[in-house]
A and B are shown apart, each in its own frame.
Chain A
Amino acid sequence: MSGEALSARDPGLQPERTRLAWRRTTLASTVTAVLAGKTALHGGPSSFGIVACALCSGLWLAFLALAHHRIRALAATASPAPLAPRHATSVVLCAIATAVCALALVV
């Protein structure tokens, strides 16, 4: 069954659903980045606040780049290759770095 299904369009729309899952995740990271920016620049811009804001924006851009890379890979073929462990780990490291920024800002 899988042999014929691979050549045709997947009726379960798996690549499309995965693409949308990446989109939802970039949306979540955008909300986090906006909250981070608000926290960093709260009470007037300070040099520490600006650095933290720039760092969080950079992490958000890195996240967008990772998601875009994967979305393009998903769209390229009918049966896309599985996600690479390095790719998944990079996404996780972006999230953890944002949390570390939050730690520095909150305390």
Chain B
Amino acid sequence: MIEFVQNVRLWFAPEQVREEGDTPDYRFSLANERTFLAWMRTALALIGGGFAVDQFLPDLRWGWRVGLALALLAAGVLCSLRAVNHWMLCERAMRRGEDLPASRFPALLGVVVAVVAVAMVVVVLVGWEG
């Protein structure tokens, strides 16, 4: 957690990242940027999913509808925060010539999306009956 707060300061300080190590081949930086953008698209899709649950499942009870929408929105926010953090860590690792950071976030996100999807199927079925 403390490490995360220190990283947050680096998000806003390009000079600090650029002081370390050597500038990598621009193609590696661009590949890192595309990975960041792919994660941003995932985050935007999750946020859009939050809106969509609210709009396209109007017959659900309020609690379920809001709960599912909040789960998707929270996943979107986490995903976008993680996107910039991981991008910055990768950029720094490349400058220092270290291994790229390992992450359990993709597995975590996969599990969360699966749980929300199963919950949505159950809730829609139960919601139609009730």
Contacts and interface: CB of A to CB of B under 8 A. Distances in A.
Interface of chain A, helix or strand or loop or mixed? helix
A89 B51 contact: no
B123 interface: no
Interface residues of A, number: 42
Interface of A: 2, 6, 10, 12, 14-15, 17-18, 21-22, 24-25, 28-29, 31-32, 35-36, 38-39, 42, 79-86, 88-89, 91-92, 95-96, 98-99, 102-103, 105-107
15 contacts: A2-B25, A14-B30, A17-B34, A18-B30, A25-B40, A36-B51, A82-B23, A82-B91, A83-B87, A85-B88, A86-B12, A88-B87, A89-B84, A99-B73, A102-B51
Interface of B: 10-14, 17, 23, 25-27, 29-34, 36-38, 40-41, 43-45, 47-48, 50-52, 54-55, 65-66, 69-70, 73, 76-77, 80-81, 83-84, 87-88, 91
